[in-house]
Structures are given as C-alpha cells and as structure tokens.
Amino acid sequence: MTTERVWWYKRFRKGTYVNAIVWLAWTVAILFPFPPFSYLQPIMVGGGAGTWFLVGYLVFVAVSVVGFAVISSLIFAIETHELRKLCDRTIAGGFILLFAGSLAGCFMLGIAGASAGYALIIQPSTVNAAENILSAYVNPTTAAALAAVVGAALVIYAMATAKATER
C-alpha cells in the first residue's frame, strides 16, 4: 500500500495566497471612498483606537502574508533539498493554529479599532464608550494571538525535528 506524500510547502504557499487576497480586500476597504469604508482613514489618522486598526492591518501583512511565504520557502528547502519529512500531525496543528489565530486576532484588532475609532472620531462619543468597545476585544484577541504563537511554535518544532527520508 502506497500513500501519497504530503508536501507542506504547497499548503503554506496556498495559505500565503489566501492571506494575500484577504490583505488586498482589506486594503481596498481602507481606500474605498464610500461609507462606511470612507471612515477608516480618518479613524486611523485620529490615533488612539485607530491605532488598533492599523496595528491589526500591519501585523496581518507581516505574519499572515510575509510569514506564510517565508515558512513555505523554508519548508520547501527541508522537503525538497534536504529530503526530510515533517511530522504531519505537528505541522497540521501548527498550520491551523497559526492561520486561524493570526486571521482572527488581526481582524479583531481591526474591528475593535474601527468600532471604537468610529465612536470617538465620527459620532463623537466619550472616551469611556470607546474604551468599553476596545475592552470587549482584549481577551478574545489575546486568545487568538496565543493560538497563533502556539501554531508558530509547532511549525518551528516540526521543521527542526523533520526526519531524513530515503534518497
């Protein structure tokens, strides 16, 4: 019985493509000149809560787009040049946690920043109202970030412990 080999670099590359499409959509939303999207630029310029939105956007680019591309390249070298095989369970868990954690965490930062920034800059509301909006996102965003960190650790562990295959 033969089983087809799983090429993890291809999966991470597909993850890069999906994340790049999401990033492009997020960028278009920021630049779209019609409400509610047209409020995003003034919210970012306003600082404070808008910083949460901007940080979510930038971290998404760094981790979900660039990070997945770099990981795919490293795994490509491990699987094709070094002829080592990654543990499927470890790398699968890492992929899922890193992908879902980074996506969820960054979007929650973006939504929290946009919502609280809207309350402060566009409506305008009190600082306490904006802080209440932001505080509702702290624990879920922290949990998502922790999931992404655990996922990244699993991916690194899988790469470091990849076993040599027959040549």
Segment 119-161, tens digit of pLDDT: 998 888 899 999 999 999 999 999 999 999 999 999 999 999 9
Other residues' Cβ atoms within 10 Å of the Cβ of residue 139:
9
| Domain spans of the chain, in order of start | 12-164
Q: pLDDT-derived band of residue 1, with 50, 70 and 90 as boundaries?
A: very low
Cβ neighbours of residue 134 under 8 Å, at least 6 residues apart? 49, 52, 112, 113, 116
Q: pLDDT digits over 79-103, tens only?
A: 999 999 999 999 999 999 999 999 9
pLDDT of residue 35: 86
**E strand or H helix at 164:** strand 163-164
Spatial separation of the C-alpha atoms in residues 135 and 132, rounded to whole Å: 5
**Count, residues in the chain:** 167
Residue at token pair 């959509």: 25
In angstroms, the Cα distances linking 6 to 27, 82, 85, 167 are 33, 16, 9, 17
